[in-house]
Amino acid sequence: MSVIELSMGSWISAAVGVAARLGIADELATQPRTDAELAVTLGVSRDSLEAVLSALLMVGVFARDEDGRYRNSEGSEQLRTDHPQSLRHMCMLLTGLYAQGCGSLLEAVQTGKPALNARYGMGLYEYLEQDAETARIFDRAMQEVARPVAAVLAEHLPLENVRTIVDVGGGNGELLKGILAVHPQLTGICVDRADTCRRAEQALRESGDEDLLGRLSFQAADIFQECPSGGDIYLLKNVLHDWNTETAVQILRSISTAMRDRPADAVPPLLVVMDPVREYDQGAALRPLIKMVIGEQGTGERTEADIRRETAAAGLQVISISQLPADLAAVACVLA
């Protein structure tokens, strides 16, 4: 690709963002439509919509039949909200808040500060507390990327004698929902920031799923300081990647302290850290850039040696490392 094509990549990305926001793939899922029909349904300008759709056709997102009707293509299917591997909200997050952070990349390079901080004067989670709409998109995006991992964990977690799983920084509980659905004997505790727990609890109540309501609870906590005890297995997925070593060790210590707080005859607790680790990460080349935009100051790419050092500093011992979907490594730890 030429430098001009590369420089215009953000225009394509913005067009994907518009399609995701407007829910165009959802509209086309029922039947193909002309741009005029779509514009009326979506309440937008026909000419502008056509410009966006033409750009997206060029990259295989949506297709146009000979009669001028647009339909979904393989490339647009994951923009459907109800697609089993939907990434609609992840696309909204990447082309929304994260792209705005990228707009301050030069400042980040010049100052060494995270780009999001340079732009908004605050870190990711502080920002989300002040922008309810983006926080909702963030939760849904995390839910989308958690789904494939939940399926693998439901099959491979060692569940003998396990009653309770605690997901630390578990967002709206998607990982636990996926595991609990397959294992009716389990209960789950999802630990996250207060506002995330509030939204997740409300969504669960509104779902009317009595079984899950009885087995899944949300507990607000600052995981830098504390974590609920009582878990036989602790999960920590896609949390450490936001934080530098010092903060990561603080989070791991909160968990190891909770793991120690249990009767002597209880099954030894297990922690599974799921995070990008360089040796297991196909997308490793972009990772430092992502951290520079949304991570805490000083958050670097983690290698296997780093994660072993950080877990050891928190009183944990790594017993295995394996590959998971989504370029994650699963690092299983017990108390040292």
Ligand X SMILES: C[S@@+](CC[C@H](N)C(=O)[O-])C[C@H]1O[C@@H](n2cnc3c(N)ncnc32)[C@H](O)[C@@H]1O
- Comparing CA positions, the residue from 125, 116, 121, 163 lying closest to residue 291 is 116
User: Least distance from C-beta 224 to ligand X, angstroms?
Assistant: 5
User: Least distance from C-beta 169 to ligand X, angstroms?
Assistant: 3
Applying CB under 6 A, which part among 87-95, 209-217, 232-240, 281-289 lies near ligand X?
Answer: 232-240
User: Least distance from C-beta 227 to ligand X, angstroms?
Assistant: 9
The site map against ligand X for 34-53 (x = CB under 6 A) is --------------------
Q: According to CB under 6 A, which residues from 190 to 229 bind ligand X?
A: 192-193, 196, 221-224
* Bridge partner list, 225: none
Return the ∠ at Cα 280 (arms to 278 and 284), rounded to 5°.
Answer: 45
Q: What are phi and psi of 271, to 5 degrees?
A: -115, 130
Applying CB under 6 A, which part among 22-30, 36-44, 238-246, 252-260 lies near ligand X?
Answer: 238-246
- Comparing CA positions, the residue from 211, 204, 216, 276 lying closest to residue 240 is 276
Decide if residue 142 touches ligand X (CB under 6 A): yes
* Bridge partner list, 1: none
Q: What is the phi-psi region of residue 275: left when phi exceeds 0, alpha when psi lies from -120 to 50, beta otherwise?
A: beta
Q: According to CB under 6 A, which residues from 147 to 176 bind ligand X?
A: 169-171
Residue closer to ligand X, measured from CB, 146 or 165: 146
- Comparing CA positions, the residue from 173, 120, 134, 174 lying closest to residue 21 is 134
Residue nearest to ligand X (CB): 169
Applying CB under 6 A, which part among 32-40, 64-72, 142-150, 206-214 lies near ligand X?
Answer: 142-150
User: Least distance from C-beta 60 to ligand X, angstroms?
Assistant: 28
Residue closer to ligand X, measured from CB, 76 or 172: 172
DSSP for 22-37 reads HTHHHHHHHS-B-HHH
User: Least distance from C-beta 2 to ligand X, angstroms?
Assistant: 34
User: Least distance from C-beta 174 to ligand X, angstroms?
Assistant: 6
In angstroms, rounded to a whole number, what is the distance separating the alpha carbons of residues 333 and 336?
Answer: 9
Its sign, for the CA torsion 158, 282, 256, 239, is negative
User: Where does this chain bind ligand X (CB under 6 A)?
Assistant: 125, 142, 145-146, 169-171, 192-193, 196, 221-224, 237-239, 242
